[in-house]
Amino acid sequence: MNSWVCPLVKRIWTPSWTLYSSGLTLLMLALFYGIIDVAGCRWWAYPFVVAGMNSIALYVMSQLLRNWTADSLQRHFGADLFKLLGENYEPILKANLVLLTFWLFVWWLYRQKIFVRI
């Protein structure tokens, strides 16, 4: 199976790695539960709520429309759009602008109360 189909690295999935990653995940869950539910600090989690409500749409867009969106952004905003921070940061800026475009679309869906479900 190709790595782009199944990105898991099975060589590192030893029993000790499973315990380590499970423990780290549970600590993060406890931290976020404490911050969001116990302390009531919810404002910073809004982007994640929007993304989570249409996560299937985000996934499908990232698989089908990533290159088209990047080409469209470059076509409409100029050939050097992704080179604003320099050649070294071009892939990072490209990925973040495409992600922002997708997030703005799912934000619009969220505001219209349209949710993609299976």
| Cα 28 from Cα 11, distance rounded (Å) | 24
Of 53, 62, 47, nearest to 110 (Cα)? 53
User: Domain check: are 75 and 102 in the same one?
Assistant: yes
Same domain, 56 and 25: no
Q: Which domain holds residue 111?
A: 42-118
* Number of domains forming the structure of the chain: 2
On whether both 31 and 51 belong to a single domain, the answer is no
Query: pLDDT by residue (tens digit) across 47-70?
Result: 999 999 999 999 999 999 999 999
Are 91 and 72 in a shared domain? yes
pLDDT-based confidence at residue 80 (cuts at 50, 70, 90): confident
Burial of 40: CB neighbours in 10 Å, binned 0-12, 13-18, 19+: exposed
Q: What is the pLDDT of residue 5?
A: 43
Which pairs with CB-CB distance under 8 Å and at least 24 residues apart come from 47-50? 47/103, 50/103, 50/106, 50/107, 50/110
pLDDT cut 70: percent of the chain above it: 90
Q: Can you give the pLDDT at residue 109?
A: 96
